[in-house]
Structure 1
Amino acid sequence: MPEKSHPDPLSLVPRPLEVTSEGPGGLTLTTATRVSADREAQGTLVWLQRELGAATGLPLAAGDEEDAQIRLSVDPGAGLGREGYRLIIDSAGVIVVGNEPAGVFYGVQTLRQLLPADAYRSTPLGGAEWRLPAVSITDAPRFRWRGAMLDIARHFQPKREILRFIDLLALHKLNVLHLHLTDDQGWRVEIRRYPKLTEAASWRTESQVGTSRPPVFDGRPHGGFLTQDDIREIVAYADARHVAVVPEIDVPGHSQAAIHAYPELGEVGEIPVGTQWGVFDEVLAVTDNVLEFYKNVFDELIELFPSTYIHVGGDECPKTQWKNSASAQQRIREEGLADEDELQSWFIRQLDDHLTKRGRRLLGWDEILEGGLAPGATVMSWRGEEGGIAAARAGHDVVMAPTASSYLDYKQSDSPDEPVPVGTLLRVEDVYESEPVPADLTEEESQHVLGAQVNLWSEHIDSQRKLDYMVFPRLTAFAEKVWSEGERDFTEFEPRLKHHLGRLDAAGVEYRPLDGPRPWHTRPGVHGWGYYPDEAPPEQGHAAG
């Protein structure tokens, strides 16, 4: 009788729901191995042939269901749950069944982990035996939203790096890429109706280095943007890997770049694209023309992004300019609003109405609660759990992303060797052990928690190598937290994580070693900040928490 057990501590990440060892046997992949898929699983078959074929050098040719050794299929009646799958391997072959196409894809991701780590290389090294153990796995995710936010506004990441990031999300069974496309320091997406957004607002003259006071700048222009065709390619690439791409256009604060391109959007006329990190008084005006401008922007986004959710930011919007603005004060009187907080809520509600009419749902940072929450809004809780708790209790859906457990730009140790250390300490184990669902919610209220995500703000992340260092292996710990059911024990997870690092090595990921940074990871002389008794946090903006 097969024995049910926890997964081999040196194998699978995230931990599957149920693993049954089938004893000796298994399947060795050879040049004769054939693969097949039903119509709905064809996309995963193509992915498998391309990725695993490249790593192993095996043709993995398509065959009929009768003669194929690896068979993929979608069966909604299999009772596997949303995104669930069953993977069975024995000497006769491999069967992967998914409740939906995404489940088949995740089953194949697990299959790849059962092979040697070289299965993550781009070309065969020779001499490997591609043997799969005899095993039966039944699995499904805990949460429907398993996301990561990539800020390409502060430091731009070109298309090739975004595609690579999507592959790494898919490797970890994550299914949402939240792209932060605009901020004070740059506008990163082509809007054809408003060409100055990329002609003028997509680059800045220089960038602040670290958080020194007074600020230090590098004197080097920085910029870049994604064309609409780039976006279409990214979205299609992500869709093939069952990753939804959620765009964010941040309003009404964090809008210096847009105001630079079109000064009539702001309250004070011409301003430069931001070069310093922080929260600034410059905000959008609340006129009909500004609303029309952004409705047009969101209409173009809707054509590019099929995601149900469209993120409108809504965070860190100072009210100073509105208090001194004749048009803002007139709007408050005309709409019968109590104050500037309600004015921001009114602004967000106009966008919520617009997106709802187009079949989409508005998503915003938890500041959109202030002054009243728009009826169709979903809240992303970042300032602790409080915003998520309030929204869930009011019957709104929530994505949890509190700074203390979700901000991957935060420092990974208290060592002075950490590059540009900011924020509070967030180690791999801290990410792993934190709980996405607030304990204060009732069982009914907790149903509004769609899931969680980690956020990578890029003020101090100016290259793909630094991105890898900050993201991994903390993203691996997060992936298990949002995928796997049951209690989490870091001492059980750590051996599997160490084994998983071999896969990341093979995939070319320059992660932070568990024992600390290498000399080339450090940034001597570039100062960060943290919460210490003698140091108040500066106005560093959203990344600062």
Structure 2
Amino acid sequence: MDVVIPCPAVRTSPATGGELHLAGPWRIATTDHRLTTVARTVRALLEPHLGDRLLPPSADDGTPDHGGPGTGPAVLVLALDAESPAPDRAPVGVSPRGTAEPVDESHRLTVTRRGITCRAATPEGVFRAATTAIQLLAASTDRTPCQELSDAPRHAWRGLMVDPARGYLTPGELRRVIDLAALYKLNVLHLHLTDNEGWRLQLPSVPELTSDRADGSPGSLGEYYTVEDYRALQDYAADRFVTVVPEIDLPGHCAALRAALPDLPAAPAPEGLAGRFPFVPPLDLADPATKAVVTSVLTEVCRLTDGPFVHIGGDEAVGMTADSFVLAVRELRACVRAAGKRPLAWQESSRAGIGAEDIVQYWVDVPMMDLPDTEEELAGRPDLLAAGHTLDLIRALRQFFAPADEDLARVLDGGGRVLLSPQSHLYLDRPYPPDVIPAEQAESVSRLGFATYRPRGVRPTAAWDPTSHGVPDARIAGIEATLFGESIEGLDDLTVLLLPRLTSVAEAAWSGRAPEWEAHRARVARHARLWQDRGLSYLASTEIPWP
């Protein structure tokens, strides 16, 4: 059975046929010292699936072959091979590792009756092949056909954003998320580290941001990543060829920062806004004290970050004038660049001007928000009513988000790059509809997801086509799923919202197209075993033919 996600581009079978029995025992072999770390990482990823069927490292003697079938353990061989298949087209987008050209991740995987061989021209390509091998071992039954699989990515940036600012995840839980991302060939973990609800990164230059506050005001509340946590997390991710991108969300979404530093003035507000709707006043980057704090924060975040990118936020800055917002975005960009990193920001930042070096994360337009127009339509949206939405509030939301309809054109006209994260399909904090939730999960799953999003199941996410937004290939930075943490109370909540939907995002990001639904759902069904081995909760959606 075909179990690999993303589905390999080329699959061939030998004329002699045959099968590989997967029971093992298994050993890992490589003769190249450049793959020592890759071999160690692959072993760690395999352990939950093979257990004592994975022989100890002492058995990994570096010999890539050994007799015939049945004469010894099966072997997973990792090999650098300059003649491995080069991609038939260059990947689209920006390398998350900051290289001028994306790293070659093309690879070939050969299954014989004696084992599996992973070949590529680069260690990263070998690792991608090895994740395919891990899926074969974890999601297949007791055997798999002899075959050769060749593959290469369509998109260079394949990301997942999680939100510990609202739904804190321990460093150990984040490592499990990194493992999951790597197994599906994602290569970016975007950490939304700050928001109104919390500040999750220790910065010794501004210790107030993670000091405990007895009044219960927004902030760290004792849960944050120390400098040592953050550095160790980046090292762990790098071993899996995943780049960590931190986000410090400014100038809005700043209640936690304001609670720690309460004397910073509010940004100038638009006339007539005060008193109509509640909002946290954004920061005023024209204020010298505010600018000094923000400069200190971003400079230290850049210093602590190994990767080349730092995300500055820039979304939903409710309560500041257009001029004040433009100034803030320009100051934030300049600060990150002065510290030697490349800034990313949400699409609203395009209103501060766009150049060829700018990358914006596209997430919303008004049609995508799916808002009702009349009281009758609102009455048919229990999700919005339960969240306290009135028609007056919905009209205000339409007005506030109206400029978003032009953001994509602004980016393209200005020569910038687009990181595709459309709310309609790639926001995985969207609730599941009741009709796809099995009865035994109804109570635990029904509370998950952002209440104002119309619920959607697995199939709508799988239907997303990366080309549907009309962004030319040369202007796509990459693809990134997001999962904001308003309803998250732990790792189980997070993975139930991610799985099975993350699999189709990984498919689209790697292959550049939506998967064929019937074949995809059959492959997804086999991955329940992989998730169970790893202790990951998931939605047993009725859309999937689980074994």
TM-score, normalised via structure 2 length: 0.77
Q: Counterpart of 2:353?
A: 372
- CA drift at 1:156: 1.3
**Structure 1 residues 33 and 403: alpha-carbon distance in aligned structure 2, compared to 1, 3 A threshold:** closer
> CA–CA distance in 2 between the matches of 1:408 and 1:35?
38
- Conservation of the 8 A alpha-carbon contact between 2:353 and 2:414: no
Structure 1 equivalent of residue 463 of structure 2: 433
Give the 5 Å matches for 1:129-168. Answer: 133-168=145-180
Moved more, 20-29 or 430-439: 20-29
Match runs of 1:417-496 below 5 Å: 417=442, 418-420=446-448, 422=451, 423-441=453-471, 445-485=472-512, 488-496=515-523
Contact 1:153 1:181 in 2 (8 A): yes
Residue 355, structure 1, aligned to residue 336, structure 2: yes
The answer as to whether partners of 2:333 and 2:343 remain within 8 angstroms in 1 is yes
Deviation at 1:242, TM superposition (A): 0.9
Counterpart in the other structure of 1:121? none
- Which whole-Å deviations, capped at 9, do the CAs of 1:463-513 have from their partners, x for residues lacking one? 222112211111112111111255632112111111112211222111011
Query: What does the per-residue CA deviation read over 1:426-457, in whole Å, with 9 as the maximum and x for residues that have no partner?
Result: 3211111111234433xxx3321122111111
Query: 1:9-408 residue pairs with structure 2 within 5 A?
Result: 9=2, 11-22=3-14, 23-26=17-20, 30-31=24-25, 33=27, 35-53=29-47, 55-57=50-52, 58-59=54-55, 61-65=59-63, 67=65, 69-75=75-81, 78-81=84-87, 82-91=104-113, 93-117=115-139, 133-200=145-212, 204=216, 223-267=222-266, 280-286=279-285, 287-320=287-320, 340-373=321-354, 376-384=357-365, 386=405, 387-408=407-428
Counterpart residue identity of residue 9, structure 2: L
Identify the residue that residue 412 of structure 1 maps to in structure 2: 432
CA distance in 2, matches of 1:18, 1:32: 26
CA pair 434-202 structure 1, distance change in 2 beyond 3 A: farther
Q: 1:64 to 1:192 in 2, by over 3 A?
A: same
Distance 1:72 1:420 in 2: 41
Q: In 1, Cα distance between the equivalents of 2:26 and 2:514?
A: 42
For residues 42 and 205 of structure 2, the distance between their equivalents in structure 1, rounded to whole angstroms, comes to 40
Counterparts in 2 of 1:204 and 1:431: CA distance versus 1, 3 Å: farther
- State the alpha-carbon separation in 2 of the partners of residues 347 and 505 from structure 1: 46
The amino acid that maps onto 1:359 is: G
Structure 2: which amino acid aligns with 1:26?
A: L
Asked if structure 1 preserves the Cα contact closer than 8 Å seen for 2:351 and 2:410, the reply is no
Preserved CA contact (<8 Å) 1:267 1:284: yes
Cα 1:38/1:258, change in 2 over 3 Å: same
Shift of 1:350: 2.1
* Cα distance between partner residues in 1 of 2:486 and 2:28: 48
Supply the distance in 1 between the matched residues of 2:242 and 2:345 (Cα, whole angstroms): 20
Corresponding pairs, count: 455
Moved more, 97-106 or 24-33: 24-33
- Maintained 8 Å contact 1:279/1:316: no
Unpaired segments of 5 or more residues in structure 1? Answer: 1-7, 119-127, 208-220, 269-277, 321-339, 518-545
Write the distance in 2 (CA, Å) between the matches of 1:487 and 1:149.
Answer: 20
- Structure 1 SS opposite 2:137: coil
Letter of the 1:309 partner, please give it.
F
The DSSP-based 3-state class of the residue aligned with 1:78 is coil
User: Cα distance 1:50–1:97, how it changes in 2: closer, same or farther (>3 A)?
Assistant: same
Q: Counterpart of 2:100?
A: none
Q: CA 1:244 to 1:413, structure 2 compared with 1: closer, same or farther past 3 Å? A: same
Give yes or no for contact 1:76–1:98 (8 Å, CA) kept in 2: yes
Aligned 8 A contact 1:53 1:59 in 2: no
Q: What letter is aligned with 1:85?
A: H
Q: CA deviation at 1:424?
A: 1.8
AA of the residue aligned to 2:43: Q
- Output the CA distance in 1 between the equivalents of 2:147 and 2:521: 22
What's the % identity of the aligned pairs?
28
Unaligned 5+ runs, structure 2? 67-74, 88-103, 268-276, 369-404
Pair 1:29–1:501, CA change in 2 (3 A): closer
Q: Which moved more, 1:239-248 or 1:304-313?
A: 304-313
Shift, 1:238, TM fit = 0.7
User: What is the match of residue 398 of structure 2?
Assistant: none
**How far apart, in 1, do the equivalents of 2:467 and 2:541 lie?**
27
The aligned amino acid for 1:396 is: G
Q: Secondary structure at the match of 2:527?
A: helix
Aligned residues: CA RMSD: 2.9
Write out per-residue CA displacement over residues 381-402 of structure 1, whole angstroms, 9 at most, x where no aligned residue.
1114853453134211111111
Aligned partners of 1:393, 1:203: CA distance in 2, in Å?
48
Counterpart position of 1:124: none
Distance 1:183 1:206 in 2: 9
Q: Assess, with a 3 A threshold, how the Cα gap between structure 1 residues 236 and 201 changes in structure 2: closer, same or farther.
A: farther
**Contact 1:85–1:138 (CA<8 Å) still a contact in 2?**
yes
Give the direction of change, closer, same or farther, for the CA distance of 1:33–1:383 in structure 2 (3 Å limit).
closer
For 2:208 and 2:288, the matched residues in 1 are separated by 20
- What letter matches 1:140 in structure 2? A
